[in-house]
Structure formats: structure tokens, C-alpha cells
């Protein structure tokens, strides 16, 4: 029996196993009290075993990132009680490996590369798909905590929406930031951005999705620059636009349209543009999807302690 358990269930830490569908038959013999299943179909219940099912296919587009914290909490609770936990998927190669890798990152303070190498050293066939690798690297960048308010997570969520809603006829409301004109908040650390022409509030600083600086003039060589001397110039072009998450006032414009202009909802002056396929920033970086507001079309306003009062940022 011990050899069979070892074959089907690979121990990663004391009280933590990873395996495939066949491992379910060895639960009680291994002292497993909790089963974390990540698969397209939920497995039948096992008497005396606590279960958590994450519905997911082994595809790069599958969202595992949003489940990582709840999965870690489930495994921690099982191990804290003195029992063992098994993380399983159909083949025990990709999905289950991704969840256990994330757990090691969070609980053992490991980088993605360190945690993944640990799993592969114990399980030679471990190989998560590239989409899961990317998501775990984002998880690492967020400090191994799913922070839904972070720019990293907001950009990730937008990319998932683009994949899931190719026709863009039905967008989940959680992708839209609240319209700053519809709420009354006192956030001294935030900057409010208003239309330069009519002063209508458009978005807050928390909606800005920062990106790594691009390669500057060289990024536009295919259509703008032919002089090699210019391409060798190390100077960088500053970003002339803010790339932000969608705001509620944009919703009527975005539905069913892949790209277009962004106009002020009050005075209709042009603010920028959007494209679900992505757009190139003036610094050369490609951003997908892109909702960009030209800096020259808005003013920054710092909020004062009293709600409803702002002052121009200096």
C-alpha cells in the first residue's frame, strides 16, 4: 500500500501531497483530511474528507490567480489541524502543480522559480502551462496576495475580460471603476483628474495602470524613423497619456466595439482612445487592452479633507 500511495501521491511538505485523479483512492491511508480539486468536473464527495473544488481547465487562458489565496487558506487550515491535504487535478501535472507552487511561494517565502524548482525536483513530470506560469509571476509581484485594488490585478482582469468576451456585448461590472461624480469620498492621497475644458471629474489616480517604459524611438522604427543615428539615441520619450481601467461613464461606448474614441461625457471633447486589441504608448510600450487619456486633455486636482473640494495640483 505504501508503494501505491507513493506512486499516486507525491509528498511536497509534511501534510501536503500533490497528485492526479488516481490519488483519490489513497486518501484515508495517507491521512488526508482535505482534498483540493482543480478540474473541469467536480469529483464525487468522499466520506470524512473536507473538499474544495476550483473549476478550471488546463488552458493558458484559465483564471487560477483569483483562487490562489482561498486555496492557500484551505490548505493551511487542513495542515494546522494535524491532518494532510491533497491537491489534485486530472493528470497531476499542470493545474495541481500550479496551486502547490503558489502555496509554497506564499507560505515558505519563495520566489516563483524557487517554488517551481522544488516541485519539479520532487515530481519529474510537473509542467504547468505558460498561462499559469505568468499568473504565478503576477502573484509574486503582488507579494503573494491577490490585491484586487492593485494595478497589476486590474490589468490582469482586463486581459481576462478581453479573452472571455470577444464580442464585448456583456461586460462584468467589476471591471469598471466607480464614476467619481457619483460618489463622495475623502481620499487625501488620491488625485482627481478632470476634463480640462468643462471640469467634469473623469477618474482617480487609483485607476491609472502603470506600465514599464518602452524602448522609445526604436519602438516606432517600422513607421517613423529610418536614420540609424536616431535609433541609437538613448533618449526616451515620456508617456504622454494615462492608461487607465475603464470607468463607468465609458460603458456605453465600449460595448460591442473593439476600438474608438473616448469623449468627455459632459462636453464631448476628445480625451483619448481605447482598443481592446491594445495600443502603443508614446514611450514605445504596447498596452493591452488600452484605455488611454491624453495628459494634455485633463487637469490633476488634489482632494482636500472636506468632501467636494479640490485644488489644482502643483
Is the pLDDT confidence value at 77 over 50?
A: yes
Strands (E), the chain: 9-13, 16-19, 32-39, 50-55, 84-88, 191-195, 201-204, 241-243, 259-263, 270-275, 279-280, 286-287, 290-294, 298-303, 310-312
pTM, to two decimals = 0.80
The three three-digit cell numbers of residue 145, written as one number:
496576495
Task: State whether the Cα torsion 17-19-24-25 is positive or negative.
Answer: negative
Q: Is the pLDDT higher at 29 or at 296?
A: 296
Where exactly does CATH 3.90.190.10 map onto the chain? 2-146
Q: Could you tell me what percent of the chain has a pLDDT over 90?
A: 65
Question: What distances in angstroms separate CA 29 from CA 6, 12, 78, 259, one per listed residue?
Answer: 11, 17, 16, 57
89 is catalytic: yes
The per-residue pLDDT for range 242-254, each reduced to its tens digit, is 999 999 999 999 8
State the burial class of residue 279 (Cβ atoms within 10 Å of its Cβ: 0-12, 13-18, 19+). buried
Identify the pLDDT of residue 268.
97
E-state strands within 111-224: 191-195, 201-204
The mean pLDDT of 273-293, rounded to a whole number, is 94
Spot the catalytic one: 7, 76, 89, 264: 89
Tell me: domain 2-146, CATH 3.90.1070.10, correct? no
**pLDDT, tens only, 177-213:** 999 987 655 455 689 999 999 999 999 999 999 888 8
- The pLDDT score that the predictor gives to residue 146 is 96
Over residues 127-151, the pLDDT tens digits come to 999 999 999 999 999 999 999 999 9
pLDDT of residue 190: 82
pLDDT for 314 equals 37
CA distance linking residue 299 with residue 191, whole number of Å: 10
Cα dist from 297 to 66, 167, 169, 252, 267, whole Å: 35, 30, 29, 21, 12
Residue 210 makes CB contacts below 8 A (sequence gap 6+) with 151, 243
CA nearest 298: which of 312, 283, 279, 284? Answer: 312
Q: What Cα–Cα distance (Å) separates residue 5 from each residue in 18, 153, 314? A: 11, 38, 67
Q: Are 140 and 132 in contact (CB under 8 A)?
A: no
Burial-class residue 165 by CB neighbours within 10 Å (0-12, 13-18, 19+).
middle
Q: CA nearest 136: which of 204, 74, 69?
A: 69
Mean predicted lDDT score pLDDT of the chain: 86
> 284: which residues sit within 8 A by CB, 6+ positions away?
213, 214, 215, 216, 217, 218, 219, 220, 237
Whether residue 85 has pLDDT greater than 70: yes
Q: Confirm if 228 and 194 have CB atoms less than 8 A apart.
A: no
Model pLDDT, residue 220: 52
> What dihedral do alpha carbons 230, 235, 240, 245 form, nearest 10°?
110
- Checking if the pLDDT of 104 tops 80, the result is yes
pLDDT score recorded for residue 217:
58
Amino acid at each position: 500500500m505504501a508503494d501505491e500511495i507513493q506512486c499516486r501521491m507525491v509528498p511536497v511538505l509534511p501534510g501536503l501531497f500533490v497528485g492526479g485523479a488516481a490519488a483519490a483512492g489513497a486518501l484515508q491511508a495517507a491521512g488526508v483530511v482535505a482534498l483540493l480539486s482543480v478540474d473541469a468536473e467536480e469529483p464525487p464527495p468522499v466520506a470524512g474528507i473536507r473538499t474544495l473544488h476550483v473549476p478550471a481547465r488546463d488552458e493558458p487562458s484559465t483564471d487560477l490567480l483569483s483562487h490562489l489565496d482561498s486555496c492557500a487558506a484551505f490548505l493551511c487550515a487542513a495542515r494546522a489541524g494535524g491532518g494532510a491535504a491533497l491537491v489534485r487535478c486530472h493528470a497531476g501535472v499542470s493545474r495541481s502543480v500550479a496551486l502547490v507552487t503558489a502555496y509554497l511561494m506564499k507560505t515558505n517565502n519563495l520566489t516563483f522559480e524557487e517554488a517551481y524548482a522544488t516541485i519539479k525536483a520532487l515530481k519529474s513530470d510537473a509542467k504547468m502551462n505558460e498561462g499559469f506560469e505568468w499568473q504565478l509571476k503576477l502573484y509574486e509581484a503582488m507579494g503573494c496576495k491577490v490585491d484586487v485594488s492593485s494595478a497589476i490585478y486590474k490589468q490582469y482582469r482586463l486581459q481576462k475580460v478581453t479573452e472571455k468576451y470577444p464580442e464585448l456585448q456583456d461586460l462584468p461590472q467589476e471591471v469598471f471603476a466607480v464614476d467619481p461624480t457619483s460618489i463622495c469620498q475623502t481620499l487625501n492621497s488620491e488625485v482627481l483628474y478632470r476634463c480640462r475644458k468643462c471640469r467634469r471629474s473623469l477618474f482617480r489616480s487609483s485607476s491609472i495602470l502603470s506600465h514599464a517604459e518602452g524602448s522609445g524611438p526604436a519602438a516606432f522604427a517600422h513607421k517613423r524613423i529610418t536614420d540609424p543615428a536616431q535609433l541609437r539615441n538613448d533618449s526616451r520619450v515620456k508617456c504622454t497619456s494615462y492608461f487607465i481601467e475603464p470607468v463607468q461613464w465609458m460603458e456605453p461606448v465600449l460595448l460591442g466595439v473593439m476600438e474608438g474614441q473616448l469623449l468627455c461625457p459632459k462636453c464631448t471633447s476628445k480625451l483619448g482612445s481605447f482598443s481592446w486589441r491594445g495600443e502603443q504608448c508614446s514611450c514605445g510600450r504596447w498596452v493591452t487592452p488600452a484605455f488611454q487619456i491624453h495628459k494634455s486633455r485633463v487637469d490633476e486636482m488634489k482632494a482636500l479633507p472636506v468632501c467636494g473640494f479640490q485644488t489644482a495640483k502643483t
